[in-house]
Amino acid sequence: MPAHANTHQTSDIRKVADAEALVRSVAERVASSSGLEFIDLEMVRGGKGPVLRVYMDKPGRISLDELENASREISAILDVEDPISRSYTLELSSPGMTRPLKTRRDFERVLEKNVQVSFVDSSEGDSAEDSAARKGQAVKEIKGRLTAVTDREVRLIPRDNKGREGAEIAVPFADLRHAQKEISFR
């Protein structure tokens, strides 16, 4: 591959990262000024240009009007800032009931609630630093009640299919692969 092609590709990646950082910053400012919480941003390829998916929420329930107002405000700022040189689609929504739990704050929101967690069992490695070495290991999935969260781990009491609770376990954030609040229709 010619050196100039690699430089062009690196420049394109940098432009996308810069655009994503600017959109994220705008969405965070709008959320903060509107009494909402910025949750996440996804930039994906679309048929007629990139699709920017901005997720916002607030304690209780976010309304459609609040999302529409935030969308108009973000759109107006992006029209002036122009971080993406071509046509794009802006989508704003709430993350929904089954949104993934990723951050400490996400887990704190569902303390004492039932969650589903997928993780690599760190007891099979020597330490949390062995996370990279554990990537090939089987992922365990459990359901249970979230009892605590720290900067390093989440703690939960696993529950079997008959609803019986077991002994509390700790899962380091480094070992988590996926987590979400369990939805019950009982």
The CATH number of the domain holding residue 69 is 3.30.300.70
One domain for residues 159 and 137: yes
Q: What range does the domain containing 127 cover?
A: 104-181
Give the residue from 70, 93, 116 where a domain finishes.
Answer: 93
Classify residue 98: in a domain, yes or no: no
| Sign, CA torsion 79/84/88/93 | negative
* φ/ψ (deg, to 5) at 67: -65, -40
Same domain, 168 and 137: yes
- The pLDDT, as a whole number, for residue 125 is 53
b/e 55-80 (16+ beta carbons within 10 angstroms → b): bbbeeeebeeebbeebbebbeebbee
* Residue ending a domain, choose from 40, 59, 93: 93
Judge if 146 and 173 occupy the same domain.
yes
- Separation of first and last alpha carbons in the chain: 59
* Measured CA distances, 81 to 28, 40, 76, 92 (Å): 15, 20, 9, 18
pLDDT at 50: 87
Cβ distance 118 to 140 under 8 Å?
yes
Domain shared by 8 and 89, yes or no: yes
Residue 10 sits in the same domain as residue 43: yes
* Structure-derived torsion over alpha carbons of residues 15, 16, 19, 20, reported in degrees to the nearest 10: -150
Residue 53 · residue 20 · CB < 8 Å:
no
Domain for residue 113, yes or no? yes
pTM of the model: 0.64
User: Is there a contact between 41 and 19 (Cβ–Cβ < 8 Å)?
Assistant: no
Same domain, residue pair 112 and 168: yes
Residues 114, 68 within the same domain: no
**Whether residue 84 is found in the same domain as residue 16:** yes
Decide: residue 9, CB within 10 A, 0-12 exposed, 13-18 middle, 19+ buried.
Answer: exposed
pLDDT at 2: 52
Q: Which residues of the chain have pLDDT under 70?
A: 1-14, 16, 122-136, 185-186
